[in-house]
A and B are shown apart, each in its own frame.
Chain A
Amino acid sequence: MEESYTNLPTSHLLGSVPAVVDDGKSSPRYEAPEANMQTFPPNNGGDRGRGYQSLAGPSETFEQQPASNWRGVFSISSYTQYFNVDTDVVLNRLLGSFFPTGGDFFSKIDANPDLYGPIWISTTLIFVIAAFGNCATYLMEKNSDMSTSWSFDVGYVNLAVWSIYGYALVVPLGFYFLLKYLESNPSLIGFWCMWGYSLFIFIPSSLLLLIPLEALRWIIILLVGGASACFVASNLRSCTGGSDLTIVVVAAFLLQMALAIFFKVWFFP
């Protein structure tokens, strides 16, 4: 079509839309400005002054990030790269941990794994489980006979600290070494991040576990444990990708279910 439509005799009329002239120079599709779903918020380098105060664009230095920013174990500045998260990023990851299927958590945290979430989620979970576990035993005492007096068992805090911090530290470390031995390519911080966020669903569920009905408690903990274990398993499978590593994925699933059952049996008997 050689003739253009911009000089129609009705173009001067109000509301007439000028035609798009296709002269072959414009690009065939509209490219969104760096809408990379892997990094949230999308931070290309020029975004620094416009509202998001992300530190030094981790997406562009990602390849050399493990080597260049590490200044030894005892220097705080080598850990700051793992705390570059904003409130909405953390909220997005927390909400993402509720969905058992999907398996896209690693792509969400790929550019910016954080340690803020795992640390505070496990700390909160410890106090929540210890407090609500004691509330639950109090409710069971009230329901049954009043012969024994109830006292706050501070041993719950001790047990919760050892079990939750131990689980959140040791299990990802174990899987990291196992997958490294099996020639996969895991990232330790990513594993700590994923397992830490997988514990978040236990916090609201321990509120639900206060209901002093034994059958209901079992149903709740099995559902929640199943959801959390599916989250861990689907993300681990999407991370490893190979089909001969299914036994590793199944082991992760079973460990998370075992943790859920441990919470029920020891804290909400």
Chain B
Amino acid sequence: MDDADLAGPMLFCFCFGMFLLLSGKPQFGYIYGVALLGDLSIYFLLNLMSPTGIDAYRVSSVLGYCLLPLVLTSLASIALNLDTLIGYILSITSIFWCAYSSSGIFVSVLQMQNQRYLVAYPVMLFYASFALLTVFQHRGESAYHKFFR
């Protein structure tokens, strides 16, 4: 993990946004916000918990690459409606897959073998918020619409 590139993560996030757009949920702003805040939080947490530190680019790189199962789920959301039982099972499986792979990479990079599940839980919450964007329609009114209606 010496070379941490952000090209792959950027591509994955862009594909994620495009697939959500194609399925009727244009949520680029939410994706950007959640990704930024989540990266910062996981960066703080990993620096608190690991014996050595880690820098923010590597954190974003790992988190972005491990987003791939959720990108595939959003691809599935174009064709199917994920607000059903099958959709829930599919998105929960992809959350666990993302959290499993990214916690594995973090734990092996930072030598935190006995803290794997402690790292996996916050990362799972991070990916769960992405999965919420995939599964549920944005049905409510935003403050913008309320003000300018």
Which A residues fall within an 8 A CB radius of B?
Answer: 51-53, 55, 76, 79-80, 82-83, 85-88, 90, 116, 120
Q: Is the interface of A mostly helix, strand, loop or mixed?
A: helix
Report the Cα distance A87→B48, complex, angstroms: 15
Which one of A52, A82, A87 lies within 8 Å of B117 (CB-CB)?
A87
Assess whether B47 is in contact with A116, with CB atoms less than 8 Å apart: no
- Taking a contact as CB atoms under 8 Å apart, the answer to whether B122 and A53 are in contact is no
Instruction: Return the 8 tightest CB-CB contacts between A and B, nearest first.
Output: A86-B114, A83-B49, A87-B117, A83-B48, A55-B51, A76-B47, A80-B48, A86-B115
A87 to B114, CA, bound (A): 6
The answer to the question of B112 belonging to the interface, with a C-beta cut-off of 8 Å to chain A, is: yes
- Measured as residues with beta carbon below 8 angstroms from the partner, the interface class of chain B is 10 to 19
CA distance A55 to B49 in the complex (A): 10
| Number of residue pairs A-B, CB distance < 8 angstroms | 35
Chain A CB within 8 A of B11 CB: no
Tell me, yes or no, whether B81 is within 8 Å of chain A by CB.
no
> Is there an interface contact between A116 and B118, defined as CB atoms closer than 8 Å?
yes
B48–A76 CB distance below 8 A: yes
Contacts of B112 in A (CB 8 A): 53
Q: Which residues of A contact B51 (CB under 8 A)?
A: 53, 55
* A169–B147 CA distance with the chains assembled, in angstroms: 36
A53/B48 in contact, CB under 8 A: no
**Nearest Cβ distance between residue A188 and chain B, in whole angstroms?**
18
Write the nearest CB–CB distance from A149 to chain B, whole angstroms: 14
CA distance A85 to B44 in the complex (A): 16
A30 to B49 CA separation, bound complex (whole angstroms): 37
- Does B111 touch A at the CB level, under 8 Å? yes
Q: How far is the CA of A88 from the CA of B28 in the complex (A)?
A: 39
When the two chains form their complex, are residues B48 and A79 in contact, meaning their CB atoms are under 8 A apart? yes
Which one, A76, A82, A87, A120, contacts B115 given CB within 8 A? A87
B118 CB → nearest A CB, Å: 6
Knowing that A86-B115, A87-B114 are A-B contacts, what are 8 other residue pairs whose CB atoms are under 8 Å apart, sorted by A's residue number?
Answer: A51-B114, A53-B113, A53-B115, A82-B48, A86-B118, A87-B117, A88-B114, A120-B121
